[in-house]
Amino acid sequence: MKNFIFLLLLLFANFLKAQTPVDLSSFKKNGSTVSINKKLITLSWPAGKSVSGKIILDMDQKKPLFNSILLSKNGTFKEIAKNLDPAFVLRVGKRTLSPSSGGWDVFFDKVPTRPYTTNLMAFDKRKASIQTSGSQTIIKISQVKSNTFNGDLEITLYNGSPLFNVAAVVSTKVDSTAILYDAGLTSKTDVWGNIAWSDVKKQMQSVKPALTDQSKNLEVKYRTVIGENNGGSLALFPAPHQYFYPLDEAFNLKFTWYGSNYLNLIPGFGIGIRQDPLGDRRYVPWFNARPNTKQRLNFFCLISTDQAQATLSEVKKFTHNDSYVSLAGYKTMASHFHNEFISDVALSGKPIPEKPEFVEVLKNTGLNIVKLAEFHGPGHPKGPDSTRLKELNSLFEQTKRLSDASFLLLPGEEANNFYGGHWLAFFPKPVYWVMSKKENTPFEITDAKYGKVYHVGDKDEMLKLLEQEKGLAWVAHARTKASTGYPDKYKEEAFFKSDTYMGAAWKAIPADLSLPTLSKRVLDLMDDMANWGLKKHVISEADIFTITEQNEMYAHLNVNYLQMDKLPRYEDGWQPILDVIKNGKFFVSTGEVLIPTFNINGKGAGETLKLDQLGKATVNMQLNWTFPLNFVEIISGDGHKVYRDRINLKDTQAFGKQTFKWSVNLKGRKWARVEAWDIATNGAFTQMVWLE
């Protein structure tokens, strides 16, 4: 009997050793299924109408994690890929945290000019857990580590789409850390039948790879590289905006790769995403990695039973083909471009192209209105007058020539004078003004050639000019770059409290992979300005220089959807555009999440709502989206504190449109606004509704 019991215990111990410890305590029914057979974990999820996805994970330390990736249509599974391992290369550098440059909000940093490390992250399949959250299924495998970073691998499946995300979720305890990562899927035995991508001219390219092919960096369109097999294809791509930390230039730095022995670190053959550690060779801040924050080093995979071109078409739908779609009752506007067409082309003596490349590129992204920021380096904003007025005249001539019934190219400048920091000036018509004033020069003169000309000598005259010509101003890259400390330093100034000072501009600076939103820096400022008791707004800005078809433009762009039925004619001036901005009748978006309608108790953005004594309110909004949504947040303030009501939207699926109603108590609040963010950290936000 003792021998028999000993034999049973031995058999049970061997069974436990063969069986992978998988925690299913948080796995709930949501349409996905899971089964465990020794070291194999099989997960299936509804991937679309009559479509099912399946991944088989192998927890054997000596075998690839992705034993098989399959997709079915009408019940018949096809194997898309097999024997793949996720791979992550982590670069770790030192962040400059000087308060004078914005601390963690720094842009003027050059991380790769200081010593940094580049290492392949180690992956140890000790244990796993599987949980569901709405329409998502998350597989967590421990552990991933490199340098001072450690954490888990997470694979997230999304019901309704053949889409999944692979992430190394890691943190460090070391302060002042900046990071960069490359990632992909690799195999030591199997090679794809073909590797395919779109070149920057939007033409499909492909190669038939071999296991011995040395890795190669690819310059692609749509940030995507695709592996093809007989069963179908797998497209691998990053989050379209979050993966691209802020730079002055939107150069295409070959953000994908394929081949063997990538960086002499990743064994086997792979496909993946990458970042050039030297960036655009200007200011290169990388990503923030604050101590104890969970950094999501991640990429997306879309699987299909079709071949590469059809699969890429499905990927492109997530970003509307890298463009901003039209919405009834809205016009799209982007701001802050230092293309310097006037100085570098129009006044350089070079031939002036009938259709400049930068204009065609911006038109092709679906923009109706583009506000320039010329003369930021090569111009002569302070004169001499003859040069300054000639430059402005050329700017007005060229922007008028290049505008048409569906596209307005509007003059504008980033002014670095009078107010402090950098700020954008925007007038509703051509205005001749010089940003300096000699002694005894009148504020306003009449020039024989150019007509009315202003000379501005200080902040009071700047305010006078904006008031007289109905212009608007707003702080560029607030609290960072050359505007570090602004607008806080002048929040009590008359010019800032004036209606001519619209507010601030929003761009994804800094980059932080632990956050579910972009540019918290300016969103916080938006709330601060409202709590200061000022009715200010936040407009999006691109703040980039070169604009070419070759560039990775979409990753660095954002858009303002202005509530307008039609564009004004250039010849008539564009006061209606400034009125919409001044009144807050617009929302900001990265492009993937849209807010066609929004109101609180019937009052829209920029309007004032009188609450009842109980403070009861209903937020009404329609959302359109591509990636599944993550959450909506209703943000409000009482003049001192900021309050946040977060609504989990992880039950949504890809490519949706829905009208929502949420009850919220706003008693004692003075303002409220709403943000919406998806699972790829794309988002949109409204302007304020003012409360009484």
Of the listed ranges 6-20, 147-161, 429-443, 631-645, the least confidently predicted one is: 6-20
Q: What is the mean pLDDT of residues 222-230?
A: 97
309 and 392 share one domain? no
Domain end position, chosen among 284, 318, 352: 318
Residues in Cβ contact with 350 at an 8 Å cutoff, skipping those fewer than 6 apart: none
Share of the chain above pLDDT 70, in %: 97
pLDDT at 359 over 80: yes
Q: What is the mean pLDDT of residues 402-426?
A: 96
CA-atom Rg of the chain in angstroms: 27
- CA angle 327/606/539 to nearest 5° reads 65
> Alpha helix locations (H) across 166-318?
308-316
In a domain, 184, yes or no: yes
In a domain, 9, yes or no: no
Domain end position, chosen among 548, 573, 591: 591
CATH number at residue 669: 2.60.40.770
What torsion, rounded to 10 degrees, do the Cα atoms 242, 247, 251, 253 define? -60
Domain span holding position 314: 22-318
In a domain, 463, yes or no: yes
In a domain, 3, yes or no: no
354 and 496 share one domain? yes
306 and 344 share one domain? no
d(CA 414, CA 337): 9
Distance of CA 649 to the CA centre of its chain: 19
486 and 622 share one domain? no
pLDDT at 13 over 90: no
Residues in Cβ contact with 11 at an 8 Å cutoff, skipping those fewer than 6 apart: none
191 and 307 share one domain? yes
514 and 574 share one domain? yes
CATH number at residue 412: 3.20.20.140
CATH number at residue 270: 2.70.98
In a domain, 1, yes or no: no
In a domain, 4, yes or no: no
Q: What band does 20 get if pLDDT is binned at 50, 70 and 90?
A: low
**Residues 246-297: tens digit of each pLDDT:** 999 999 999 999 999 999 999 999 999 999 999 999 999 999 999 999 999 9
**Residues 476-492: tens digit of each pLDDT:** 999 999 999 999 999 99
Q: What is the mean pLDDT of residues 311-336?
A: 98
Say if CB 582 and CB 574 are below 8 A apart: no
**Residues 553-596: tens digit of each pLDDT:** 999 999 999 999 999 999 999 999 999 999 999 999 999 999 99
Dihedral pair phi/psi, residue 287, rounded to 5°: -105, 145
Domain count, the chain: 3
For position 11, what pLDDT does the model report? Answer: 37
Q: What is the mean pLDDT of residues 239-249?
A: 98
For position 18, what pLDDT does the model report? Answer: 52
For the record, the structure tokens of 363 come out as 């038109």
User: How many other C-beta atoms are found inside a 10 Å radius of the C-beta of residue 203?
Assistant: 9
d(CA 410, CA 425): 12
Q: How much is the mean pLDDT over the chain?
A: 96
198 and 52 share one domain? yes
58 and 111 share one domain? yes
In a domain, 6, yes or no: no
**Residues 648-683: tens digit of each pLDDT:** 999 999 999 999 999 999 999 999 999 999 999 999
Q: What is the mean pLDDT of residues 334-362?
A: 96
User: How many other C-beta atoms are found inside a 10 Å radius of the C-beta of residue 12?
Assistant: 10
381 and 294 share one domain? no
pLDDT at 10 over 50: no
Run of H or E including 629: strand 629-637
558 and 637 share one domain? no
For the record, the structure tokens of 407 come out as 């596209």
Say if CB 574 and CB 568 are below 8 A apart: yes
For position 19, what pLDDT does the model report? Answer: 62
Domain end position, chosen among 575, 591, 607: 591
User: How many other C-beta atoms are found inside a 10 Å radius of the C-beta of residue 590?
Assistant: 25
259 and 195 share one domain? yes
Say if CB 270 and CB 81 are below 8 A apart: no
Q: What band does 217 get if pLDDT is binned at 50, 70 and 90?
A: very high
> Alpha helix locations (H) across 369-439?
385-401
398 and 276 share one domain? no
In a domain, 10, yes or no: no
